[in-house]
Every structure is written in C-alpha cells, then in structure tokens.
C-alpha cells in the first residue's frame, strides 16, 4: 500500500492477512492460481488511527509479470465503519505487488 496523508500526517499502513490456506508454500507453484473468499474467510486487518480495522479480501490472484516475476493481485474491502474511523466509509480496493521468497530450497 502506498503511503497517504491522513489527518495532516503521512501514514504507511500495512495490511496483515493471517491463516491463508494456500495451495502451495512454493511461490513458483502459485503462478496462474486464483483464490476466492467469502466475507470473514480471512482474518485480516489494517492498523490506522490507533485501531485495527477489518479487511475483507474477496480474491487473491497470482500471475507472472512481463519481467517473469510473481505478482499478486488482491481485491477486497476496508471496513473502516467497524471502528468508526472519523466518518470514513468502507472502501473497496485492488492492490498489486511483486512477491519474493527467501526460501532457497529447490523442493
């Protein structure tokens, strides 16, 4: 997530997703795979303004970029209304980033 300005300060929040049951722990095996979820399937949150706000992810898609790097596309909804973030409404999002691994094992 790119840094943004909130209440006159630059913030760089991180989305944390826990307990994702991936079809493989090897990144190379995830290329071309897509996973879909229903509300509440993933335990995710974003910390902003001294509170954890739920993140509902509806899909994760893995694909190879033109540079042959594994990319993930995440679609979901920030639930800012849950903690009442100064009248901020829930917000749909789409995030894309490269993935990397420190796993040096071939198997």
- Is 48 part of any domain? yes
- Is 107 part of any domain? no
With contact defined as beta carbons under 8 Å apart, do 41 and 12 qualify? no
The domain tally of the chain equals 1
- Is 14 part of any domain? yes
- Is 84 part of any domain? yes
The boundaries of the domain holding residue 70 are 4-19+27-98
pLDDT digits (tens, 9 = 90+) for 42-96: 878 888 888 888 899 999 999 998 888 899 999 999 888 888 877 788 889 999 9
Q: What does each C-alpha distance from 28 to 24, 44, 101, 104 come to in angstroms?
A: 9, 24, 10, 12
Q: What is the distance between the alpha carbons of residues 53 and 91, in angstroms, rounded to a whole number?
A: 12
- Is 104 part of any domain? no
Whether residue 3 has pLDDT greater than 60 = yes
Helices and strands, number each (H, E), in the chain: 1, 8
In 1-107, alpha helices (H): 27-30
């Amino acid at each position: 997530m790119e840094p943004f300005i909130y209440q006159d300060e630059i913030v760089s929040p991180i989305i944390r997703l826990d307990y994702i049951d991936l079809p493989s722990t090897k990144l190379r095996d995830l290329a071309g795979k897509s996973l879909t979820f229903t509300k509440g399937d993933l335990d995710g949150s974003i910390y902003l303004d001294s509170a954890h706000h739920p993140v509902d992810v509806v899909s994760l898609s893995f694909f190879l970029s033109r540079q042959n790097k594994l990319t993930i596309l995440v679609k979901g909804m920030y639930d800012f209304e849950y903690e009442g973030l100064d009248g901020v409404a829930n917000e749909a999002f789409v995030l894309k980033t490269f993935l990397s691994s420190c796993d040096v094992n071939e198997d």
